[in-house]
Amino acid sequence: PDGPDKGTMVVTVEPPDQDPQIITVIVEYEDSTWKITEIVPDEPPASPSDPPETLPTDEEVLARLKEAKGIPDKWVCGDFDVDYEDTATLDDWVVYRVKDDRIKTLADFQDLAKPYFSERGIASMVRVFVLTDIDGRLYTGTDPNGCEGGPVDEQFTVQKHSDNRFDITIVSTFDGGGEPWAETTHVCYLWENGMWVFDDACDLAVDIVGTTWTNDSTEWASDYELNFGTDGLVTRVGYRNRDTGKYRVIDQSKIIASYDDNYWDSPGEGFVNSGSRYEETYIYGAANNTLSATTSGDDNSNAPDSIWYGFPGITHYFWW
C-alpha cells in the first residue's frame, strides 16, 4: 500500500506461447474497484564495464573494507543521535527521529553508503536499521546502544575470485567472560556499475539459507512456508502438501528449484507420494526482501506463483 486508495502490485503475466513475465503496476481504488493506472517500466540493466586494468592489492581491499565497516559501526555504536521523544509508527514498529544533521533523510544515508556497498547491501542496511522518511526527516526503528560485546580480535584473509570479485574471510573472536569462541563471515568485493563495492551475499545463497519464507496468506488452506537448506535441498510445506526438491542459484537474483519428492496428506491414509513434479523460478527482490515465484509443471498445491516474504525480514547483517 502507498495509501488508502493507491498501491503497488507485482503481477505474473502469462502471454500465450511465451514464458511468464513478472511486472510491477500501480493500482488505484476508483469507482468501487481497484484499477491498474500505470505499468512501471523495468530498470534497464547496467551497462557491463571492464574492471580497471590494475586490480586492487590485498592491502587496498582491506583498507577499503575498514572504511566501509565504519558506516554500520557508527550506527550500531550510537554515533548518530536519536530523539526518543519524537516517535512514529511504521508497520507496527515504533520509529525514532534521527537528529544527526549529517543524515537528515534516507537519501543522505544511501548517499553515504553508495561508495562502499552494493545496491542490495544498502537495501539490507535500510531493512536492518528500519530506516524511513516521515515528513522529510529520517526515522529509525533501531536503538543504537553501543558496541559492548563486540569481537576482541578480527583476522582477515583476501582471495581473488575473478577479475570482477575478491572474496574476504573474516574470523572474529569473542570473549563473553567464559570460553572464547570464533565466528566466520564471508564478504566479497565486487566490481559493480563501474566501481568496487562490498556485498555479503555474492552468490545469493547466503541470503536465502536459514530464512523462513512465507506466502503471507491469511487462509489456512493456502498458507505455505518455504525453506532453503545448506545441503542444496528446498522444502515447501503447507495445507496438505509437503514437497521437497533441489535448488540452484543462477545469479544474484534468480533461483530455480525442481520439486520431485512430493507428498500430500490423504484423508485416512496419511502422507502419500503424489507423483507430481514441478519447477519454480524465484526472482529475489532486495528492496522488499521477497521472492517472486513462477511455477511450471504438475504443481497440485494451493500456492503456485506466490510472492514469498522473508521472515523476520532481515536475512543477513554483514559482519557487525
Q: Can you give the pLDDT at residue 317?
A: 41
Q: Can you give the pLDDT at residue 2?
A: 66
Which residues, other chains included, contact 164 with Cβ-Cβ below 8 Å and sequence gap of 6+?
A: 51, 190, 191
How many angstroms separate the CA atoms of 259 and 251, rounded? 20
Cell of 272: 502419500
| Single-letter amino acid code for the residue at 287 | A
Cell of 182: 570464533
Query: 101: how many CB neighbours lie within 10 A of its CB?
Result: 8
Q: Can you give the pLDDT at residue 77?
A: 60
How many angstroms separate the CA atoms of 142 and 174, rounded? 23
What are the two backbone dihedrals, phi and then psi, of residue 136, each rounded to the nearest 5 degrees?
Answer: 80, 10
Nearest to 119 by CA among 190, 205, 42, 24: 190
How many angstroms separate the CA atoms of 118 and 136, rounded? 25
Q: What is the pLDDT of residues 3-17, one digit of tens each?
A: 678 888 878 788 787
- Determine the straight-line distance between the first and last CA of the chain, rounded to whole angstroms: 32
How many angstroms separate the CA atoms of 88 and 125, rounded? 20
Q: Say if CB 56 and CB 64 are below 8 A apart.
A: yes
Q: Can you give the pLDDT at residue 304?
A: 67
Cell of 32: 468501487
How many angstroms separate the CA atoms of 142 and 150, rounded? 17
Which residues, other chains included, contact 221 with Cβ-Cβ below 8 Å and sequence gap of 6+?
A: 239, 302
Measure the CA angle with vertex 313, ends 310 and 316; round to 5°.
95
Q: Can you give the pLDDT at residue 270?
A: 83
Q: Name the stretches of the chain with pLDDT < 70.
A: 1-3, 42-51, 73-80, 143-149, 176, 201-210, 230-231, 251-252, 286-288, 304, 311-320
DSSP string, 57-125: PHHHHHHHHHHHHHHHHHHHTT-S-EEEEEEEEETTEEEEEE--TT--SHHHHHHHHTTTB-HHHHHHH
What are the two backbone dihedrals, phi and then psi, of residue 241, each rounded to the nearest 5 degrees?
Answer: -110, 145
Residue with cell 522529510: 136
Cell of 263: 507428498
Q: Can you give the pLDDT at residue 203?
A: 58
The pTM assigned to this predicted structure is: 0.54
Q: What is the pLDDT of residues 142-176, one digit of tens each?
A: 765 555 567 788 899 999 988 888 988 888 888 86
| Single-letter amino acid code for the residue at 262 | N
Which residues, other chains included, contact 288 with Cβ-Cβ below 8 Å and sequence gap of 6+?
A: 309
Task: Judge residue 117's burial from the number of C-beta atoms within 10 Å of its C-beta, 0-12 exposed, 13-18 middle, 19 or more buried.
Answer: buried
